[in-house]
Structure 1
Amino acid sequence: MTPAQATSTTRAPGTGSAPPLEDLTTRANVHDLVVDFYREIVFDELLEPVFDEVAEVDWASHIPRLIDYWCRILFGTKEYVGQVTAVHRHLHSLDAVRPEHCDRWYSMWIAAVDRQGAGPTSDHAKTHAASLMAGMAKHIFGYEWTPPEPGDSPNP
């Protein structure tokens, strides 16, 4: 088996199951995760209006910044320069970010991570997302938030 075959996420003929996913280990992995996640966001009836109508996100500049952010969190790189708190405080001032937004964002993030990787770095991406959202909810949005249990916040 070649390395490409070993890391492929396609199903082996006749097995009906995909090989185990590898962990998030490269910037390319993070790129795929971020693109996968936000591709789902733009079709989500709850979150899409927040990103498109309220925040008026310019995806061409936003996606690379998010890749830099997550590479900093997961790998300790230094490319990300930004103010996560200030950006979300401004967003909340335009239109309140509610607990259901946090639940949906988090549930969709977990699903995207699960589609893209498995291992310690993938687990860190999930735990950081929970801590990040809990901190923003408490200090910016003005309420306590805890991650929903799997299945508690269904995606449409």
Structure 2
Amino acid sequence: MPQGSDITSSADIAVLIDAFYGSARPDPLIGHFFTHLDWDTHIPKITSFWNMVLFGDNTYQGDPMTAHVKLDKEHRMDPAHFERWLLLFDATVDRLFHGPKADEAKQRARTIAGVMHHKVAASR
């Protein structure tokens, strides 16, 4: 993937996800949400999720809303956490990619974060 090209493949999504978690895991505001994860399972699942979101791939198997509602019961997720997630996600996309699919990834992330925040808050 040349620096600054658009997201065009599953390999690009894998690069994006890897780089994003490289920023999110040590983050002082949201890093604690990721300490319990089995990365050998989580990374392929999230990569599959974003392949579904951006390319319509139907291999993703999961229920992100239920997972985040459960996580919220362990570690309350506030608006600031969603904002930081978006900030880091957008910054990662902007650092690595440029083009319509990169813009779509950021827009979809905003939509997903908004819906997820609403559903998590409503579940309390």
Instruction: Assess same fold via TM > 0.5.
Output: yes
Q: TM-score, normalised by structure 2?
A: 0.93
RMSD of equivalent CA atoms? 1.1
- 1:43 aligned partner: 26
Matches within 5 A, 1:46-65: 46-52=29-35, 56-65=36-45
**Percent of matched pairs sharing the same residue:** 30
Q: Which runs of 5+ in 1 are unaligned?
A: 1-6, 10-20, 143-156
Match for residue 105 of structure 1 among 85, 103, 120? 85
Contact 1:29/1:116 (8 A) holds in 2: no
Moved >3 Å (runs of 4+): none
Contact 1:24/1:122 (8 A) holds in 2: yes
1:114 pairs with 2:94: yes
Q: Deviations over 1:14-61 (max 9, x none)?
A: xxxxxxx11100111000000000011111111111211xxx111111
The number of residues matched between the two structures is 122
Q: TM-score, normalised by structure 1?
A: 0.75
Contact 1:47/1:105 (8 A) holds in 2: yes
- 1:93 aligned partner: 73
User: How many angstroms apart in 1 are the aligned matches of 2:78 and 2:2?
Assistant: 39
1:22 pairs with 2:24: no
Larger RCO, structure (CA 8 Å, separation 6 or more): 2
Q: Deviation at 1:79?
A: 1.3
Contact 1:96/1:141 (8 A) holds in 2: no
- 1:124 aligned partner: 104
Q: Which runs of 5+ in 2 are unaligned?
A: none
User: Could you tell me which amino acid in structure 2 is paired with residue 102 of structure 1?
Assistant: F
User: How many angstroms apart in 2 are the aligned matches of 1:137 and 1:115?
Assistant: 26
Q: Deviation at 1:95?
A: 1.8
